[in-house]
């Protein structure tokens, strides 16, 4: 899979976060079920899905590398840990997201800002 990005990648990061949430929370019951039960199914079934999961994680890794290389965020951060943290946090929305409280668009915007800016006050 060839992945190309333009600019500092942060607009693509936001789009990727939105798309991930949209797929989980709105479009695909299969994807949501897969995320929830992947670790609980027999190894033979997990092996059938691991290629797709690895390709998806590779996409995220390349996106994060691009952002770091273009100055989008601190290049000294551990990108593997960053990827795992981000995808796990996004997948966790399956447990608590309520569409009557906020839209997926607003949630993706807020989570992107939280991910990039954190909670710390800036002077």
What CATH number is given to the structural domain containing 28?
1.10.357.10
- Flag whether 3 is in a domain: no
On whether residue 19 sits in a domain, the answer given is yes
pLDDT above 80 for 68: yes
Whether 4 is in a domain gets the answer no
Distance CA 115, CA 119 (A): 9
Asked if residue 1 belongs to a domain, the reply is no
Asked if the structure places residue 122 within a domain, the reply is: no
Residue 46, CA distances (Å) to 7, 75, 106 in order = 36, 33, 33
- Where residue 9 falls (left for φ over 0; alpha for ψ -120 to 50; beta otherwise) is left
Q: Is residue 44 part of a domain?
A: yes
Residue 81 pLDDT class (50, 70, 90 cuts): very high
- Per the structure, the complete domain to which residue 29 belongs is given by 10-117
pTM for the predicted model, two decimal places:
0.78
**Count of structural domains within the chain:** 1
Residue 5 confidence (pLDDT) above 70: no
């Amino acid at each position: 899979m060839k992945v190309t990005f333009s600019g500092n990648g942060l607009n693509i990061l936001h789009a990727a976060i939105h798309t991930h949430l949209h797929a989980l929370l709105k479009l695909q019951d299969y994807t949501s079920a897969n995320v929830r039960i992947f670790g609980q199914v027999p190894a033979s079934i997990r092996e059938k899905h691991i290629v797709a999961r690895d390709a998806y994680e590779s996409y995220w890794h390349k996106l994060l590398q691009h952002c770091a290389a273009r100055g989008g965020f601190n290049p000294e951060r551990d990108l593997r840990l960053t990827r795992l943290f981000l995808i796990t946090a996004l997948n966790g929305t399956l447990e608590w997201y309520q569409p009557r409280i906020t839209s997926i668009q607003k949630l993706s915007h807020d989570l992107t800002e939280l991910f990039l800016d954190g909670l710390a006050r800036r002077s």
